[in-house]
A and B are shown apart, each in its own frame.
Chain A
Amino acid sequence: MPSDNVRTVEVGYLTRVEGEGAMKVVARGGKVQDVEFSIFEPPRFFEAFLRGRHHSEAPDITARICGICPVAYQMSAVHAMEHAFGVTVDGALRDLRRLLYCGEWIESHALHIYLLHAPDFLGYESGITLAKDHPDVVTMGLRIKKVGNEIVRVLGGREIHPVNVKVGGWYRLPTRKELDHLATELDRIRDDALATVKLVATFPMPDVTRSVEWVSTRYPDEYPMLGKTVVSTAGMNIPVDEWNDWFIEEHVKRSNALHSRIKTRANYEVGPTARFNLNADLLSPGAAAAAHDAGLSAPCTNPFRSIVVRAVELLHAVDEALAIIDHYRAPAAPAIAFTEKAGEGCGASEAPRGTLFHRYRLDARGILTDAQIVPPTAQNQLSIEEDLRLVLQAHIEEPDDKLRIVLEQSIRNYDPCISCATHFLHLEVDRG
């Protein structure tokens, strides 16, 4: 076989993703032969050193798994602890948690759309060079991102690794003045968020279609952030604490991250597209209308259109944040009382890039004896590889330079957070 018949595209260090990953694809005779998305982010062993820590420390410690989605880690952690102690944080305290989460979605989605992903669609190597030609576009993105950060800063104390979340609620409640300030800021970027949906809807999209089992959490009458159940497009509908009955993770040699599958079935996908495909009926009226105008309907089967879904979620988060502030009446206390007890608890919430599951075991003093953390990017690894296979086949005639760009773009469809992806659990099944 002539050597020019063998095509190898290798990216030793993926850029514009959070963390350290690599990609390698091999095609032979016009056919895809091998596809590998690997994560070489060094392991930090969070699940191991969480053992022996007090439950009250888990929100602060697990936040450090990811500087991009610390709120997600804090939310899944406190829900797991509250589940273990048999307490439910509801009403205004829970609404404030959703408001904090809206801030993280706005910040993270704006970062990904404008600085990390849009350059792929517009033919730039980065948001930095994009800003030179289109300063108005990047400035709009930064304006939106800043308001997301401002929500996290006001409610949480600072943008990265906020300090105000605790098991049972909050250390201190925001004042009406602080919330009104956020409402003013949100009003200012509402049009920008809508313009974002319109903008990304005009981006040229590679024509790829694929179907997978989409998985997200669900909560009655809310587009999911703080999950109550886990649902899928193949009919799964389970309480969060049955997670390990349905999902397994495997350790493969090429990656420091574990690969997730649904037991007895195959790979699955979490994240904006999955949430949209399962919960489009729960979007704010404004976000639903924008999705419709952008030609988006569930199920969205082109993975490249995830950038449009992300923009719709950005708009939804702005609307949701405004509604929460509008309805907010201060609760009697910043946190509810509870009694520590031995047991096990599970929690799941929707990080900007997908479902994040936590499970802890505690002793009678509230000290952790076991921890399991299943981050979204690890769950998406197999789907990322499956997409690479499809995209490679569809673009196999393209020259290497163009091929590499579309393959990297396809990985960025998942907004992969590789820093988080290397923290895992004990394996339910070892297939090594």
Chain B
Amino acid sequence: MTARVAVFKFASCDGCQLSVLDAEDELLAILGTIDIVEFPEARTLREPGPYDIGFVEGSVTTPHDAARIKEIREQCKVLVTIGACATSGGIQALRNMADVGIYASQVYAHPEYLDTLATSTAIADHVKVDLALYGCPVSKEQLVETITAVVAGRRPDLPSHPVCVECKARGTVCVLVANGTPCLGPVVRAGCGAICPSYARGCYGCFGPCSTPNVASLAGAWDGAGVPRSTLIRALKGFTVGAPEFQEAVRAL
């Protein structure tokens, strides 16, 4: 039987669900093996659940969305979060360390028209999540791998080691060691293919913390390169600021 797949959006930039359409070579082949029955960004036809796989992009930032994710969970056999917003609250989780009332008044003339929560939170803070795809944006290879794996009934092959491994694999000279360029690679999860160092800049953390990140040790290396601590703190308060490992590291610094 063809798997019924749904794609849902919460607070986000739409880039991760766009990755589905960006898999140009695989798209039509994928559509032969699954049936995307709910994907408002791409189709008008909408079918109610239950769904075999639900992909969720974006973070929870409104009371309405906090309720909606619970309904979606009940409708999905396998729930997969896609991207930094869904897995850790996204860059908009910076509000969690600020006063959302002040934020709203800095942007809007009538903050009272808004219906927003004080926090931007990961989907897993609200419901059980079966699989998580990290990244800002997700890797479309990981997306295709995950669809294929779930349809075949196996676990997808997703890394949890740091970006450094990918630099070594592609033969990129370490920008931190060789040039003193501040790089988050040693504490950030692989998945992008170590793009930034191959473009002569340091990793800035799109995929969030790797397993057991040693931020204190990295801080020493950044100190050695003469980078101010404030720069490291800002770097950790980036696209995966809501990740507990980075929050803890920011507090410790």
Which A residues are closer than 8 A to B by beta carbons? 13-20, 41-45, 47-49, 51, 53-54, 57, 60-61, 64-68, 70, 111, 115-116, 119, 125-129, 131, 135, 138-139, 142-143, 145-146, 149, 157-161, 163-164, 166, 171-172, 250-251, 253, 256, 258, 334, 408, 417, 419-420, 423-427, 430, 432
Contact = CB atoms under 8 A, between A and B. Distances in A.
A327 B36 CA distance: 44
Interface in B176-195: 192, 195
Contact of B103 (A49, A65, A253): A49
Contacts of B104: 43, 45, 48
Given A67-B18, A149-B22, A149-B24, A126 B43 contact: yes
A112 to B, nearest CB: 11
A253 B115 CA distance: 11
Contacts of A53: 234
Contacts of B108: 43, 251, 258, 424, 427
B196 interface: yes
B173 to A, nearest CB: 13
A254 to B, nearest CB: 9
Contacts of A158: 137, 192, 195
B201 A163 contact: yes
Contact of A128 (B14, B42, B65, B196): B42
Given A43-B104, A172-B200, A142 B14 contact: no
A1 B12 CA distance: 45
A126 B45 contact: yes
Contacts of B165: none
Contact of B24 (A41, A126, A131, A145): A145
A16 B107 contact: no
A44 B22 contact: no
A161 B136 contact: yes
Nearest to B92: A44
A425 B108 CA distance: 7
Interface in B1-54: 9-16, 18-19, 21-22, 24-25, 27-28, 31, 36, 40-46
B199 A64 contact: no
Contacts of A66: 13-15
B15 A161 contact: yes
A158 B204 CA distance: 14
Contacts of A15: 40-44, 46
B102 interface: yes
B45 A129 contact: yes
A157 B204 CA distance: 13
B67 interface: no
26 contacts: A15-B43, A16-B42, A42-B10, A42-B62, A42-B116, A45-B107, A49-B103, A54-B234, A64-B239, A67-B14, A68-B14, A70-B13, A115-B21, A126-B45, A128-B31, A128-B43, A131-B31, A146-B25, A159-B22, A163-B196, A163-B199, A163-B204, A172-B200, A251-B110, A420-B13, A425-B107
A421 to B, nearest CB: 12
B41 A171 contact: no
B45 to A, nearest CB: 5
B44 A61 contact: no
Contacts of A43: 61, 104, 107-108, 114, 116
B24 A48 contact: no
B19 A160 contact: yes
A157 B42 contact: no
Most buried by A among B44, B62, B192: B44
B201 A64 contact: no
B109 A251 contact: yes
A160 B45 contact: no
Contacts of B206: 161
A45 B92 contact: yes
Nearest to A149: B22
A139 B28 contact: yes
A19 B24 CA distance: 21
B109 to A, nearest CB: 4
Contact of A251 (B95, B113, B196): B113
B25 A68 contact: no
Contacts of B12: 67, 419
Contacts of A68: 14-15, 18
B198 interface: yes
Contacts of B192: 158
A33 B46 CA distance: 29
Given A15-B44, A143-B24, A161-B137, A424 B107 contact: yes
A47 B106 contact: yes
A139 B65 CA distance: 36
A280 B141 CA distance: 40
B24 A157 contact: no
B91 interface: yes
A128 B44 CA distance: 10
B199 A171 contact: yes
B109 A427 contact: yes
A423 B13 CA distance: 11
Nearest to B200: A172
A42 B65 contact: yes
B15 A67 contact: yes
Most buried by B among A41, A43, A159, A432: A43
